[in-house]
Structure 1
Amino acid sequence: MQKTEVTENADGTRRSLSNRNVQMIAIGGTIGTGLFLGSGTTISKTGPSILLVYLVLGIFFFLMMRALGEMLYSDPSQHTFVAFITRYLGPVVGHFTGWTYWLGLSFCAMAEITAISTYVQFWFPNIPSWLIQLVFLGTLAAVNLIAAKVFGEAEFWFALIKIIAIIALIATGVFMMFSHSTTPLGHASIQNIFQNFSMFPHGAMSFISAFPMVFFAFQGIEFVSITIGEAETPHRIIKKAVNETLLKILIFYFGALIVIMGIIPWTHLNAASSPFVQVFKLAGFPAAAAIINFVVLTSASSSLNSFIFSAGRHFYQLATETPTDSFMNRHFAKISKNGVPAAAITFSAICLLITPLMSLTNATASVFTIVAGSSNDMYILVYALAMIAHRKYRESSDFLPDGFKMPWYNLTSPLTIAFFAIIFVTLFFIPEDIIGAVGAIIWTVVFGGVTYLHQRSLEPADAENN
């Protein structure tokens, strides 16, 4: 009976996402090509020390999720965590954060669309990229427009494919290590991880540069917070999703990395190739490349699906925060009969149609790379602002002393904010990340200033309306 009572929210959206949907959305949004394709690069930089990098990042992302979870527990009707930034840090910061996050989501979605066409062309090289991109974008946009439940089910199966691939890798690796299987690289053994161990095998800078790489691998874990507004039993799901999801992700990452380094001594790992393909080939599976290509195709499709869902909710949130007589509010602050922000989802999807243009010229592709890098770096600021908003929440009358509280708040909150700041500073020590970091600063100063001036210009009109 409780399920029926919370089926529909006041704004027309429906609470149709189950706990398994929410759990898989969070896992699917975080475990992606960074593990299947990019983990070889991170391992080659730091060796076995990469496990420490994942552990440290995992702890701080868990603390951030506890902060977001605490605010959502106090008001689970919100569709995005940016709503709390607006509430506790003011409309200027909220407006800036909302647009910044939406643009970041859009650029990430464009990158996934580009990757999808590459993976499909592995089997069908003669199909043009633009056609592949249109088909996948149209299909996943339609999935999001039908109902949140359909999106949730699609994400469940997308994520399940990734999890099966990881479990298959771990099972294969454990068997090979316990049976001491012989490969062209030697014997598979857990001892391969600790043999000739060095904390900084390629120097401290290589170790430091691994932190931003792993940070962006975890990027997307906050998607779980965006689903709470449409979850069936939000208070119960918030606790389970936040407390369990990160643990599961760490288990999958740790398990996969340990197996990879146990079978392939990290000094022999080919950073340019997927570690999953290398392991399965050593295990005697010649079709490993095709299998992993299918997995990363579903992984990219899953990420695109989540980005469309999240971008639609954030654009809807931005529209609701504009004056009621504005163009955005009249056209995009609406919920369809299906219980989804259809206009906001459609607009976000249409914006992604420029993706095929990105590959027309090298100059366009280069500009896209720079802008995408800058938007990725902006996520660090968004996360930090969310943590600051949480501190304001603790000082407000909304604070629930018996709610889902962030553990050891007085210590962990400032430490998490400081850690995000350190991650951003490290970008300036990595040559390939400097342009993106500078671009993020320019965006903050320019767009932040424009947002402030725009908000100031609205104040007299708001005063008259009141």
Structure 2
Amino acid sequence: MKPKIVKNQDGTMRSLSNRHVQMIAIGGTIGTGLFLGSGSTISKTGPSVMLVYLILGLFFFFMMRAIGEMFYADPTQHTFVSFISRYLGPTIGHFTGWTYWIGLVFVCMAELTATATYVQYWLPSVPAWIIELVFLGILVSVNLIAARLFGEAEFWFAMIKIIAIIAMILTGVFMLINHSVTPLGHVSLTNISHDYTLFPHGIFNFIAAFPMVFFAFQGIEFVSITIGEAKSPHTVIKKAVNETLLRILLFYIGALVVIMIIIPWTSLSANSSPFVQVFKLAGFPAAAATINFVVLTSAASALNSCIFSAGRHFYQLATEVSKSSWMYKMFANISSSGVPAAAIAFTASLVLITPIMSLTTAISSVFTIVTGVSSDMYIIVYTLTLVAHRRYRASTDFLPNGFIMPWYKITSPLTILFFGIIFISLFFIPEDIVGAVGAICWTLIFGGIEFLRQGKTNLNNTN
């Protein structure tokens, strides 16, 4: 007999099971950055890339523990941004909510563009806009029907990524045990340690790898957005968050080790997927097509999660405005299937700009710049989340016996400082300067407008 699905007060359903949430957590941790971008990172830093992933993985784990602690205290919330509104005030909360939602819309657009690129590997004659419309239509439908269907889709998307990584790791272990020889030399652990230096291409390239890996981890917080619709939130929060670091070690570090024992890092091509290179050396002729399918499902998974997350965030924004406003009336409601359908549909309508962009290169250039800005804004959002957590700790909501962030007095300020350093490092990387400056301009202009708007609202309420 299936357990009864609990309905929340706002009409959403707690229909996501533990297996759904765990696979969503894995899917959020592993993105196309590993399958495609890791070759570029390895070429910059050599074996030291593992240290970069480990350091960033540790700080992302602390951030997830901070988010997890707040959700454990109040699992009824749909987004972590709601805690920023609660503990840092409505002005900062509203600014963060809009910023994060707009960032999600651009991520959705980027992932939709990527799906068209991967499908055209097999169907080069099919226009990109048709592929984009088909994928967007399917995944929006999945999100509109029920949260459980979204969870089921993410389960299988994540499973494909896991199978690909495990297959590559097992291939590497098999080749290592059998002392295989490739055109590039022997498969050996000495490929990692041979002539090892911490900064093979200088300290600048080592530091530049941190933002690259940071953006590879972006989206790791998506799992927290499922808590409001999970069947056993307290159990799920602990398991999903606690295993974050373990997943990073297993899937990222494990994959990187295997890549570098098969291919000496000095021989690794920065312009193609290291997974494709490994499977080709292992004698798998369909490597390129197989990995193209994996990155296609990875992009579709990211798009699916983005639609889910963006819909919940826009719904959250609608609930925080005046009940007499058009935004509240139109979007602060839940459909009979237990999802914020209007908020999801509105978000999807903005993502429809993507097929139009594929018809002209001028818009695409602007889109690339705006996407860079929105990605850099995530660093600010994450930092504000950690500051909100500190306020939570000082509030009456704090649960001393809850899901406590480990070594809080040290790890909290250290994580905030580390994210600040990551943001500052963007100004020393030529391709990231525009995005970093844009993120500051966005914060000053939109944050200033929001501050003035809130001040005007408070004045009217006083009068």
Residues in 1 aligned to 2:193 and 2:159: alpha-carbon distance in whole angstroms: 32
Structure 2 unaligned segments of length 5 or more: list them.
none
SS at match of 2:306: helix
Residues in 2 aligned to 1:2 and 1:76: alpha-carbon distance in whole angstroms: 22
- Name the structure 2 match of 1:226: 225
Q: Deviations over 1:144-168 (max 9, x none)?
A: 0000000000000000000000000
- Name the structure 1 match of 2:415: 416
2:250 aligned with 1:248? no
- Name the structure 1 match of 2:100: 101
Residues in 1 aligned to 2:251 and 2:358: alpha-carbon distance in whole angstroms: 34
- Name the structure 1 match of 2:348: 349
2:125 aligned with 1:137? no
What is the deviation of 1:463?
A: 4.0
Q: Deviations over 1:367-421 (max 9, x none)?
A: 1111000000000000000000000000000000100000111111000000000
Residues in 1 aligned to 2:8 and 2:39: alpha-carbon distance in whole angstroms: 45
Q: Deviations over 1:187-209 (max 9, x none)?
A: 00111011110100000000000
CA contact (8 A) 1:48 1:261 kept: yes
1:146-165 residue pairs with structure 2 within 5 A? 146-165=145-164
Range that drifts further, 420-429 or 354-363: 354-363
Q: Deviations over 1:291-321 (max 9, x none)?
A: 0000000000000000000000000000000
What is the deviation of 1:342?
A: 0.3
Structure 1 unaligned segments of length 5 or more: list them.
none
- Name the structure 2 match of 1:11: 10
CA RMSD, aligned part only?
A: 1.1
CA contact (8 A) 1:120 1:132 kept: yes
SS at match of 2:351: helix
Residues in 2 aligned to 1:250 and 1:13: alpha-carbon distance in whole angstroms: 34
1:273-422 residue pairs with structure 2 within 5 A? 273-422=272-421
Residues in 1 aligned to 2:360 and 2:121: alpha-carbon distance in whole angstroms: 22
Q: Which letter does structure 1 place at the counterpart of 2:341?
A: A
What is the deviation of 1:29?
A: 1.8
Q: Which letter does structure 2 place at the counterpart of 1:205?
A: F
Residues in 2 aligned to 1:361 and 1:206: alpha-carbon distance in whole angstroms: 34
Residues in 1 aligned to 2:401 and 2:322: alpha-carbon distance in whole angstroms: 35
1:59-138 residue pairs with structure 2 within 5 A? 59-138=58-137
Q: TM-score, normalised by structure 1?
A: 0.98
What is the deviation of 1:30?
A: 2.4
Q: TM-score, normalised by structure 2?
A: 0.99
SS at match of 1:401: coil
CA contact (8 A) 1:178 1:189 kept: no
- Name the structure 2 match of 1:173: 172
Residues in 1 aligned to 2:407 and 2:31: alpha-carbon distance in whole angstroms: 31
What is the deviation of 1:3?
A: 4.9
Residues in 1 aligned to 2:44 and 2:28: alpha-carbon distance in whole angstroms: 24
Q: Deviations over 1:190-229 (max 9, x none)?
A: 1101111010000000000000000011111100110000
Between the aligned residues of both structures, percent identity stands at 71
Residues in 2 aligned to 1:90 and 1:418: alpha-carbon distance in whole angstroms: 22
Judged with a 3 Å threshold, the aligned counterparts in structure 2 of structure 1 residues 2 and 240 are, in CA distance, closer, same or farther, namely farther
- Spell out structure 1 runs of 4+ moving beyond 6 A: none
What is the deviation of 1:361?
A: 2.9
Q: Which letter does structure 2 place at the counterpart of 1:285?
A: F
CA contact (8 A) 1:276 1:292 kept: yes
Q: Which letter does structure 2 place at the counterpart of 1:443?
A: W
CA contact (8 A) 2:111 2:303 kept: yes
What is the deviation of 1:458?
A: 1.3
- Name the structure 2 match of 1:453: 452
- Name the structure 2 match of 1:42: 41
Residues in 1 aligned to 2:249 and 2:312: alpha-carbon distance in whole angstroms: 28
Range that drifts further, 21-30 or 413-422: 21-30
Q: Which letter does structure 1 place at the counterpart of 2:63?
A: M
What is the deviation of 1:245?
A: 3.1
CA contact (8 A) 1:188 1:264 kept: yes
Residues in 2 aligned to 1:41 and 1:250: alpha-carbon distance in whole angstroms: 19
Residues in 2 aligned to 1:191 and 1:84: alpha-carbon distance in whole angstroms: 48
What is the deviation of 1:2?
A: 11
Q: Which letter does structure 2 place at the counterpart of 1:240?
A: K
Q: Deviations over 1:172-200 (max 9, x none)?
A: 01111121101000000111011110100
